[in-house]
Structure 1
Amino acid sequence: MPETINIEVVYALPERQELIRLRLHEGATVQQAIESSGLLQKYPDLDPGKGNKVGVFAKLTKLDAELRDRDRVEIYRPLIADPKEVRRKRAEEGKVMKKGDGDE
């Protein structure tokens, strides 16, 4: 009998979090877990690996990465604003950041 692993697939929305628990065959990949979760059908705008990055326990990973028992696959939403761009615009506008601005 083939061994199985228990994993979770998580997708956080602004208003709530989807958490799906699965039992998959040993050697299953991140991609297989996401497909088995049903989240792609529930949220057709999800595009793992392109529009949405994926990770296992907050560490970015590839879709073909093999999972281990009790792993948590996380599907991340795209950033609304690039933090570097926001800081650059703030600097152009002459706004001073409060923490560590050096005027003490």
Structure 2
Amino acid sequence: MTEQGEPNAAQRIAVEVAYARPDVQVVLPVEVAAGATVQDALQQSGIAERFPEIDLGSAKVGIFGKLARMDTALRARDRVELYRPLIADPKEVRRQRAAQGKPTRKGGASSADSSA
């Protein structure tokens, strides 16, 4: 802390909070205190106010694609991700595509994307 009681830069870390919908994707830079948790970063980012459909009490979260708990401590440059619920069962989608004779897509790319 500085003499004025403010945390110095060494006691703060930069992280990102990411959220995506089909129509919009956001990555918000957030500076949190060292030792802050996923929940701290989400609250400081204001993401729940920006996207009212997010329920921080039940939302699945992760850090760089790995599920995490709200009380997980963050490290500098972590990306906290909020996950939306699946709208379709992946197994059922594959079954339907197979029944229609369509090839299975990898990584969400359409067959038009792969013919570069």
TM-score (norm 1): 0.78
Which stretch of structure 1 is more off in the superposition, 3-12 or 15-24? 15-24
Match of 1:42 in 2: 50
Is the counterpart of residue 54 in structure 1 residue 64 in structure 2?
no
**Where in structure 2 are the equivalents of 1:77-92 lying within 5 Å?**
77-87=84-94, 90=96
Is the counterpart of residue 8 in structure 1 residue 16 in structure 2?
yes
Unaligned runs of 5+ in 1: 100-104
Structure 1 residues 39 and 97: CA distance shift in structure 2, 3 A: same
Match of 1:24 among 24, 28, 32: 32
In the TM superposition, what whole-angstrom CA distance separates every residue of 1:7-64 from its partner, at most 9, and x where no partner exists? 00011121221111111101100011011101111112102362x3111011111111
Structure 2 CA distance for aligned equivalents of residues 83 and 35 of structure 1: 31
What is the Cα-based RMSD across aligned positions, in Å? 2.1
- Aligned residue identity for 1:34: L
Structure 1 residues 62 and 49: CA distance shift in structure 2, 3 A: farther
Structure 1 segments of 4+ aligned residues over 4 angstroms from their partners: 96-99
Structure 1 CA distance for aligned equivalents of residues 68 and 40 of structure 2: 14
Aligned residues: 95
TM-score (norm 2): 0.71
Structure 2 CA distance for aligned equivalents of residues 18 and 98 of structure 1: 31
Structure 1 CA distance for aligned equivalents of residues 102 and 93 of structure 2: 12
Structure 2 CA distance for aligned equivalents of residues 5 and 67 of structure 1: 9
Greater relative CO, 1 or 2 (CA 8 Å, sep 6+): 1
Match of 1:68 in 2: 75
Match of 1:33 in 2: 41
Report % sequence identity.
Answer: 49
